[in-house]
């Protein structure tokens, strides 16, 4: 499912970024370390590093869902688990760019505008299992990320700090099995006699 999200974001950026940039720009999901770009990735490139995956507890629900069928049964299951996938997005200009910092900022600006235009992922770009998601896929661009310290992050990457965008997508995961139960279509009410008429129970 996560690899389908990566593919979806690649399609989205390729679709939204202007030509001819979208044809020559590489989309990578590798760590933005001192070895970037990895073998097989040519510059210029946009890197979407998936650094955090966690449940969105604000959207958690413990109420069972019931879907009735025309065959007189109901499929019951726990609700979907909502999961936030957080990316750190960096731009890597061509080595031959006359001013690499300006080119880096230009690339980041184009990506920022493209992502801000879609508060949820469009159906037209969804790939693989995401096409059958029951719920929309909301996004969050430029919101605070889950990195405790950007300085420590770049130190761990072994490279120099870079300008970066925080981006997150909330997907839905169904880890629970569903079960089929018969529907209640009628009920009966009776009177159970007791020792005293006042003690009779319905």
What are 49-101's pLDDT values in tens digits?
Answer: 999 999 998 887 766 555 666 666 666 667 789 999 999 999 999 988 889 99
Q: What is the pLDDT of residue 33?
A: 93
Q: What is the pLDDT of residue 102?
A: 95
Asked if the structure places residue 196 within a domain, the reply is: no
Asked if the structure places residue 165 within a domain, the reply is: yes
Q: What is the pLDDT of residue 3?
A: 96
Q: Are strands 26-28 and 45-55 parallel, antiparallel or unpaired?
A: parallel
Asked if the structure places residue 198 within a domain, the reply is: no
Q: What is the span of the domain harbouring residue 119? A: 2-183
Asked if the structure places residue 199 within a domain, the reply is: no
Q: Model-level pTM greater than 0.95?
A: no
Provide the token pair at 120.
Answer: 């949820």
| 114 closest CA partner among 125, 100, 129, 127 | 125
Query: Per the structure, how many domains does the chain have?
Result: 1
Asked if the structure places residue 189 within a domain, the reply is: no
Asked if the structure places residue 96 within a domain, the reply is: yes
Q: What is the pLDDT of residue 174?
A: 79
In this prediction, the residues of the chain whose per-residue pLDDT falls under 70 are 62-77, 175-202
Asked if the structure places residue 103 within a domain, the reply is: yes
Q: What is the pLDDT of residue 195?
A: 55
3-state secondary structure of 120: strand
Asked if the structure places residue 171 within a domain, the reply is: yes
Q: What is the pLDDT of residue 202?
A: 44
Q: What is the pLDDT of residue 65?
A: 57
Q: CA 189, CA 202: separation in Å to the nearest integer?
A: 7
């Amino acid at each position: 499912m996560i690899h389908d999200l990566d593919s979806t974001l690649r399609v989205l950026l390729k679709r939204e970024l202007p030509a001819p940039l979208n044809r020559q720009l590489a989309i990578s999901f590798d760590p933005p370390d001192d070895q970037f770009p990895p073998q097989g990735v040519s510059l210029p490139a946009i890197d979407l590093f998936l650094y955090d995956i966690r449940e969105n507890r604000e959207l958690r629900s413990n109420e069972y869902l019931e879907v009735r069928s025309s065959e007189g049964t109901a499929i019951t299951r726990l609700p979907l688990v909502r999961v936030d996938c957080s990316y750190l997005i960096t731009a890597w200009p061509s080595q031959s760019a006359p001013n690499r910092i300006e080119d880096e900022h230009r690339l980041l600006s184009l990506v920022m505008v493209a992502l801000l235009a879609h508060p949820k992922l469009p159906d037209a770009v969804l790939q693989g299992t995401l096409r059958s998601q029951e719920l929309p896929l909301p996004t969050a661009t430029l919101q605070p990320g889950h990195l405790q310290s950007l300085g420590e992050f770049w130190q761990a990457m072994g490279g120099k700090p870079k300008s970066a965008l925080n981006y997150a997508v909330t997907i839905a995961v169904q880890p629970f099995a569903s079960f089929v139960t018969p529907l209640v279509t009628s009920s009966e009410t009776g009177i159970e006699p007791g020792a005293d008429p006042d003690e009779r129970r319905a």
